[in-house]
Structure 1
């Protein structure tokens, strides 16, 4: 087995590799927009949300998720591309990059789910649910690492309850409002997704399968080439290589999801 790059001769794969690079460049331009994005305008919906929860701003959380998503795509570009004065070359291995795509989908789904409601009160409730999930996961990590976690969880949960009260959320209970799973989140926001061959959930599931090293994911989306002379009575040995066509499709959908998320952020940021 070798990890040395093999020249690509398939015209379709070459065409899709060029599309992959263009999509990564699109994501990089969006990252620049996010880096220079001004604070929400006074009186805008996001500004009104932030005034109700000034220590846990809706705009800050949404923006951070978008930044992490573009950071994942930037890391993917660094992973697979090499650029000189004269040319750009791409080389993909069968493994690794889908974990970055999965992370990007995670972040974009959280940002869209947070910003999707028309009602600001619902956006704030979702914000607090996201923060509580972070507290619970941080507490679980601290417990596994042998770091004090009970007081950490108690004090942070109490503070979130105070914020809910300060935001005048009435009888709404944070304790009784667990964050939906990523599967449920993606199903909830799928109505925002335009016509596509696969749902966001399907893309996330396949990327997750790759991220966890599952054979079904590898066989579903990679190229398989039988090694000459490897046949035996039970089968044969195959060489697995990355598939630019599949990667291009994933990136197309993820970049469109990113653009949709940024547009929603901008809509809420303008007065």
Structure 2
């Protein structure tokens, strides 16, 4: 390490080592879901969506964004006032979403969350298409929505519940209360202050 470069704090060094492992994992071919596992059974129930695919996509996003922060700070040696917070916000959000998807012990609930995520994706995609004037290259919106409603009914779920409000904050609250046993509110706090920086809110600067 160059003499004029300050040492990396121990907690940051640990995070960087873990990030390196995660980046290696995401740069290799996607892992195969273990046969006979709960996740493989989830995928068999909704093969057109697959719970494993949704969770893995969240994982890759959760790794890619802090990797970009690492490149900025430790390789390019560029310090931006606000941009890293936007990247970290995305990482926290994606990681929380992955845990929210996979944590429930009930297969029905895991499928419900996967369908809810899919509906959010379809809905936001339609909003973008409407605003941009573009035409979807695949199936029309109403067919995709109907497929999700049918899947919900097949699994004893309320189709209207699958369409319910999507809340990142609720997902992070779930992670803190259920996965972390309410030990800390780190996920929500970090996500909120990063959101404040990402949206140019003065309170974030004053609170940091």
Instruction: Bin the TM-score by the shorter chain.
Output: 0.7 to 0.9
How far did residue 79 of structure 1 move? 1.6
Q: Distance between the aligned counterparts of 2:176 and 2:10, measured in 1?
A: 28
Partner residue in 1 for 2:33: 40
Check whether the contact 1:142–1:148 (CA below 8 A) recurs between aligned residues: yes
Aligned length: 199
How far did residue 75 of structure 1 move? 1.3
Which residue, 166, 172, 189 being the options, matches 1:186? 172
Which structure has the greater CA radius of gyration? 1
How far did residue 28 of structure 1 move? 2.1
Q: Distance between the aligned counterparts of 1:37 and 1:133, measured in 2?
A: 24
Q: Does 1:206 align with 2:198?
A: no
Higher normalized strand content (fraction of residues):
1
Q: Distance between the aligned counterparts of 1:157 and 1:65, measured in 2?
A: 22
Partner residue in 2 for 1:105: 92
Which residue, 148, 155, 159 being the options, matches 1:174? 159
Q: Does 1:158 align with 2:143?
A: no
Which residue, 64, 70, 76 being the options, matches 2:69? 76
Deviates more, 1:124-133 or 1:72-81: 72-81
Deviations 1:137-161 (A, max 9, x none): 1111111111247x83212101222
TM-align CA RMSD: 2.4
TM-score between the two structures when normalised by the length of structure 1: 0.66
Check whether the contact 1:139–1:153 (CA below 8 A) recurs between aligned residues: yes
Map 1:229-240 → 2, pairs under 5 A: none
Partner residue in 2 for 1:66: 59
Check whether the contact 1:50–1:58 (CA below 8 A) recurs between aligned residues: yes
Check whether the contact 1:58–1:127 (CA below 8 A) recurs between aligned residues: yes
Map 1:1-271 → 2, pairs under 5 A: 14-15=6-7, 19-34=11-26, 35=28, 38-82=31-75, 90-148=77-135, 152-165=140-153, 168-170=154-156, 172-177=157-162, 178-191=164-177, 192-193=179-180, 195-196=183-184, 198-221=185-208
Higher normalized helix content (fraction of residues):
2
**Which of the pair has the greater relative contact order for Cα pairs under 8 Å at 6+ separation?**
1
